[in-house]
Structure 1
Amino acid sequence: MVLSEYQLRGKMKSSKKYKFLIVEDDFPVLKILSDILKLSPFVGTIYTTDNGEHALELFKENSIDVIITDILMPKITGLELIKKIREYNSEAHIIVISAYGNTDYLREAIRNGAYDYILKPFTVDEILFSVNRVIEKLNFLEERKNYVVSLENAVKETREKLEKSFYDSLKSILNALEARDKRIYKHCHNVSIYSEKLARKMALDKKTIEKITIGALLHDIGKLAVPDNILLKDESELKREEFELLKQHPVIGKNIVLPVLKDDASILNIIFYHHEKFDGSGYPEGLRGEKIPLEAKIVSIVNYYDSLENKIGDNDSNKRELVIEELKKSSSKISDPEILKIFLSLLE
Structure 2
Amino acid sequence: MFVLVLDDAPLNNMLMAEAIRTIPDCIVRDFTRPADALAFVAANADAIGLAISDYDMPGMNGVAFIRAARAVPGFEHVPVVMVTSLDQRSLRREALEAGATDFLAKPFDPIEIRARVSNLLALNRARIGERERAAWLDREVKAATALIAAREREIVLMLMKAAEHRDNETGNHVARVAGLVALIARGLDLPDAEVEQLSLASTMHDVGKISVPDTILLKPGPLTPEERTEMERHAERGRRILEGSSSLLMQRAAEIAATHHERWDGSGYPAGLAGEAIPLSGRIVAVADVFDALTSDRPYKKAWSEREALNHILANAGSHFDPACVAAFARMLPKGGTPA
TM-score by length of 1: 0.80
Distance 1:78 1:254 in 2: 68
Aligned ranges 1:184-263 → 2 under 5 Å: 184-200=170-186, 202=188, 204-233=190-219, 237-240=223-226, 242-258=227-243, 262-263=247-248
The CA deviation string for residues 13-45 of structure 1, in whole angstroms up to 9 with x for no partner, is xxxxx212222344433222111211111312x
CA distance change for structure 1 residues 279 and 234 in 2, over 3 Å: closer, same or farther?
Answer: farther
Q: Work out whether 1:307 is the aligned partner of 2:293.
A: yes
CA distance change for structure 1 residues 250 and 304 in 2, over 3 Å: closer, same or farther?
Answer: same
Distance 2:314 2:63 in 1: 75
Distance 1:108 1:323 in 2: 71
Distance 1:23 1:269 in 2: 64
Q: What secondary structure does 1:180 align onto?
A: coil
Query: Which structure: larger Rg?
Result: 1
Per the alignment, residue 145 of structure 2 pairs with 159
Per the alignment, residue 8 of structure 1 pairs with none
Deviates more, 1:326-335 or 1:282-291: 326-335
CA distance change for structure 1 residues 260 and 185 in 2, over 3 Å: closer, same or farther?
Answer: farther
Does the 8 Å contact 2:78/2:124 carry over to 1? no
Structure 2 unaligned segments of length 5 or more: list them. Answer: 336-340
Q: What secondary structure does 2:203 align onto?
A: helix
Q: Work out whether 1:80 is the aligned partner of 2:64.
A: yes
Pairwise CA distance, 1:58: 3.9
Q: What secondary structure does 1:247 align onto?
A: helix
The CA deviation string for residues 68-89 of structure 1, in whole angstroms up to 9 with x for no partner, is 1223334433333333333445
Count of matched residue pairs: 327
Q: Work out whether 1:169 is the aligned partner of 2:152.
A: no
Q: What secondary structure does 2:86 align onto?
A: coil
Per the alignment, residue 7 of structure 1 pairs with none
CA distance change for structure 1 residues 19 and 296 in 2, over 3 Å: closer, same or farther?
Answer: same
TM-score by length of 2: 0.82
Q: What secondary structure does 1:119 align onto?
A: strand
Per the alignment, residue 338 of structure 2 pairs with none
Per the alignment, residue 180 of structure 1 pairs with 166
Percent of paired sites with the same residue: 24
Structure 1 unaligned segments of length 5 or more: list them. Answer: 1-17
- The AA in structure 1 aligned to 2:301 is G
CA distance change for structure 1 residues 303 and 70 in 2, over 3 Å: closer, same or farther?
Answer: closer
Per the alignment, residue 23 of structure 1 pairs with 6
